[in-house]
Amino acid sequence: MKIKSTLANYLFVLPAVVIFGVFYIYPFLKVFQLSLMEWDGILPTMQFVGMSNFKEIMQDKIWWNSMWQAGYITLIALTFQNCLALLLALACDREIKAGNFFRVIFFIPPILSEVVVGLIWQWILDGNYGILNTTLHNLGLSALVHNWLSDPKTALTCIAVVHSWKGFGWGFIILLAGLQTIPRQLYEAAKVDGAGSWHVFTKITLPLMVPVFSMVIILTILGSMQVFVLIVSMVGQGLVHHTDVPVLRILASMTGSSRFGYACAQGIIFGLVLIIVSFTQKKLSERIRQV
Amino acid sequence: MKDGLKYIFKKRAELIVIYVFLGVVALTCLFPLLWMFGSSLKTQATVFSDPSLIPARPEWRNYYLAWTKGEFGIYFLNSVFYTAIVVFGIIIVSSLAAYGFSRLKFPGNNFLFAMFLAAMMIPLPGSFVPLYVLVNNIRKVLLNTLSAVSPQLAHIMPAGFVQQSNGFILNQVFPRSAYVFCMINVGLSLSIYILKTFFDKMPKELEDAARIDGCSKLGIWRHVALPLAKPAIAVITIFNSLNVWNEYILAQLILSSKETMPLQRGLIVFQGMHVTDYPLLMAGMTMTAIPIIIIYLIFQKYIIKGITAGALVG
């Protein structure tokens, strides 16, 4: 009777565990196996090559270049996007009319798909017919008119800015939720003691917000390093290596050069980089909290 | 007195700066969307020259053309199909599992739940490679089985019918169900987490009463737990709908034929084929964005709840 009941209990989690096992655990383990192989994805036979895929990655300049480019996008997202999010959250964290209205508006870009966002901005930034260049021209700023997305020098920055446009709503929502947990009495007490608003911000708000900042930073890093659909929809395959990021490289190894083992090895290296970066960030913020 | 005036003046100036700042950012959020909508109403001739936000003579026919000639009708219905099936699947599978993890005793309960939690936190870029391999392998097995079985079937049924149904299974049923299962898996961890925390807080008395009345475990799940969990189910429904509707990469890898593609994939395919047909592309994009924006405006409270729940785990 008891065994029967336990088995019945298992049935509740069985569908979830089966789906998870087939579509998450199996691919997870398979990545490690394939990373040691040379395989074109079609032939039934794979060739075991040991660590040679990893050795090759270490010398793959295109791959590390794509990593730096994702890092550049992440850096802009961390500074520009998160500063904007923080300023907006601070502005909305007081008694202002229409605060909820702004909150709803700021979260529209994040709910749109990367494809739609990328294509809208591709149209706005278009070198010949884009509204940005037309406006610059009409304002007498023809010197600034530029082929934003087809010039390798500006394409990556444009992508990073659009990525920030799409993403700042996330940081804003989380930071605002964090700000609203700070007890108002703390602010009032500080005011009674004669503290200026800058003082209140650095001595009360900032220290209390460290855990929230840490979370926003990790989410920004993980989200920005893995960006790629936005790039596909903004520049397509146009600027091959100038707008390359790791996920696009993995896709190219797989569907482009049919090297599935190499693609998996790249995935593992990239996953490790992400884990190391978020772990370091976490340790750093813990240290800051203690100081 | 003078100080008081100065204080009020300073406060006012501060507020004005804040409102201008918020207003400008809000405008940059809205303008691209309005520009997309406006461009979708221009003709191929005016879209490059007419700088007005909404054209004087809106070309509504673009939507008809995009739906039919641009094939966005197929993509749209596919997106609705995938979103509905995947979200329904996630609700059933994750609520069963969450109820099991929260209320039922069996060895390995905590371990299995921890596994789902870990999946939310470990980034695994490139897992789409083996997923693609897996789907292809299943397809090969299916192909072999079908070609082994069809000669036998041809004895009982007309050969044309067998061939047709084989094609239907390989080109429609298989890629669609593969995509649906992959997407159910994508939403599973977060949904189980949200529902389990909800069930954990739920009072046990109602379930006890139902048990005394002779309700089975499955009956309690169906008639007590599910109805009570409506707010949590609303959160996972909306959150997962957005997620499935906006998904791109798995759709690209698994769904290769136009008949099975969802909107996001269809947009990229359309752009690749008709590079300069901006009005129809913008019409397709507006069709893609509007359902999401409407759902968001209606349920924004739930969406933001789901997001903060998701963020708090990581």
Nearest residue to B197 via CA among B102, B110, B306, B103: B102
pLDDT at position B314: 42
In angstroms, the CA A124 to CA A148 distance is 10
Evaluate whether residue A23 is within a structural domain.
no
Evaluate whether residue A9 is within a structural domain.
no
Which candidate from B123, B245, B296 shows the least CB-CB separation from A275? B123
Evaluate whether residue B136 is within a structural domain.
yes
Residue A136 contacts B, CB cutoff 8 Å = no
B204: containing domain: 69-313
pLDDT 10s digits, A118-159: 999 999 998 788 888 888 888 888 777 788 888 888 899 999
Contact B292 A113 (CB under 8 A): yes
B196-205, Cβ contacts within 8 angstroms, sequence gap of 24 or more: B196/B98, B196/B101, B196/B102, B196/B113, B197/B309, B198/B98, B198/B229, B198/B231, B198/B232, B199/B98, B199/B99, B199/B102, B199/B103, B199/B225, B199/B229, B200/B102, B202/B228, B202/B229
In angstroms, the CA A51 to CA B103 distance is 46
Closest residue in chain A to residue B247, using alpha carbons only:
A113
Q: Exposed (0-12), middle (13-18) or buried (19+): which is B6, by Cβ within 10 Å?
A: exposed
* Distance, C-alpha B297 to centroid of its chain: 16
Rounded to the nearest 5 degrees, what angle is found at the Cα of B116, between the Cα atoms of B114 and B120? Answer: 110
Residue B25 contacts A, CB cutoff 8 Å = yes
Specify the residue for token string 């004895």.
B155
Cα Rg for chain A, rounded, in angstroms?
24
pLDDT 10s digits, A85-114: 999 998 888 767 777 888 889 999 999 999
Does the pLDDT value for residue A171 go beyond 70?
yes
Of A287 and B263, more confident: B263
Which positions 156-175 of A are in contact with B (Cβ < 8 Å)? 165, 170, 173-174
Residue B40 contacts A, CB cutoff 8 Å = no
* Distance, C-alpha B125 to centroid of its chain: 20
Which stretch of DSSP H or E encloses residue A75? helix A61-76
pLDDT at position B255: 93
Chain A: nearest CA to B246, how far in angstroms? 5
Residue type at A231 in one-letter notation: I
Total count of domains within chain A: 1
Q: Give the tokens for residue A83.
A: 């500063």
Which candidate from A120, A260, A271 shows the least CB-CB separation from B125? A271
Evaluate whether residue B25 is within a structural domain.
no
Which positions 35-94 of A are in contact with B (Cβ < 8 Å)? 41, 84, 87-88, 91-92
Q: Which residues pair with A37 in a beta bridge?
A: A48
Evaluate whether residue B10 is within a structural domain.
no
Mean pLDDT of A185-200: 82
Q: Give the tokens for residue A287.
A: 């240290």
pLDDT at position B309: 61
Specify the residue for token string 């739920």.
B202
In angstroms, the CA B113 to CA B106 distance is 12
Helices (H), B59-173: 61-68, 72-103, 109-121, 128-156, 159-168
Evaluate whether residue B192 is within a structural domain.
yes
Evaluate whether residue A39 is within a structural domain.
no
Which positions 114-133 of B are in contact with A (Cβ < 8 Å)? 115-116, 119, 122-133
Nearest residue to A228 via CA among A83, A69, A79: A69
Which positions 183-202 of B are in contact with A (Cβ < 8 Å)? 184-185, 188-189, 192
Mean pLDDT of A31-47: 86
Evaluate whether residue A161 is within a structural domain.
yes
Within A92-207, strands assigned E span none
Residue type at B275 in one-letter notation: V
Does the pLDDT value for residue A291 go beyond 90?
no
> Which chain B residues contact residue A114 at CB under 8 A?
246, 248
Contact A12 B99 (CB under 8 A): yes
Contact A250 B33 (CB under 8 A): no
Cα Rg for chain B, rounded, in angstroms?
26
In angstroms, the CA B112 to CA A219 distance is 25
Evaluate whether residue B45 is within a structural domain.
no
Evaluate whether residue A172 is within a structural domain.
yes
In angstroms, the CA A174 to CA B244 distance is 23
pLDDT at position B40: 93
Which stretch of DSSP H or E encloses residue A135? helix A131-138
In angstroms, the CA B170 to CA B176 distance is 10
pLDDT 10s digits, B1-55: 566 778 788 888 888 888 999 999 999 999 999 999 999 999 888 888 878 888 8
* Distance, C-alpha B203 to centroid of its chain: 32
Nearest residue to B235 via CA among B105, B117, B109, B98: B98
pLDDT at position B279: 92
Specify the residue for token string 């490289």.
A249
Q: Which residues pair with A48 in a beta bridge?
A: A37
B259, B128 in Cβ contact below 8 A? Answer: no
Residue-level pLDDT, tens digit, chain B, 314 residues: 566 778 788 888 888 888 999 999 999 999 999 999 999 999 888 888 878 888 888 889 999 999 999 899 999 999 999 999 999 999 999 999 999 999 898 888 999 999 998 888 777 777 888 899 999 989 999 999 988 888 888 788 888 888 888 888 888 999 999 999 999 999 999 999 989 999 998 888 888 888 888 888 889 999 989 999 998 898 889 889 999 999 999 999 999 899 999 999 999 999 988 877 899 999 999 999 999 999 889 888 777 766 666 555 54
Percentage above 90 pLDDT, chain A: 47
Evaluate whether residue A199 is within a structural domain.
yes
Q: Exposed (0-12), middle (13-18) or buried (19+): which is A198, by Cβ within 10 Å?
A: exposed
* Residues 6+ away with beta carbon under 8 Å from B230: none
Nearest residue to A94 via CA among A187, A174, A190, A167: A187
* Residue B222's CATH number: 1.10.3720.10
Contact B268 A232 (CB under 8 A): yes
Residue A114 contacts B, CB cutoff 8 Å = yes
pLDDT 10s digits, A210-232: 888 888 998 899 999 999 999 99
* Residues 6+ away with beta carbon under 8 Å from B119: A20, A24, B189
Q: Give the tokens for residue B74.
A: 């197929």
**Banded pLDDT at A169 (limits 50, 70, 90):** very high
A218: containing domain: 53-290
Evaluate whether residue B133 is within a structural domain.
yes
pLDDT at position A286: 83
B93, B307 in Cβ contact below 8 A? Answer: no
Q: Give the tokens for residue B133.
A: 């391999």
> Which chain B residues contact residue A9 at CB under 8 A?
100, 104-106, 217
Percentage above 70 pLDDT, chain A: 97
Total count of domains within chain B: 1
A270, A250 in Cβ contact below 8 A? Answer: yes
* Residue A163's CATH number: 1.10.3720.10
Contact A267 B129 (CB under 8 A): yes
Evaluate whether residue A128 is within a structural domain.
yes
Evaluate whether residue A46 is within a structural domain.
no
Q: Give the tokens for residue A26.
A: 């199996």
Contact B123 A215 (CB under 8 A): no
Judged by phi (left if over 0) then psi (alpha if -120 to 50, else beta), residue A50 lies in left
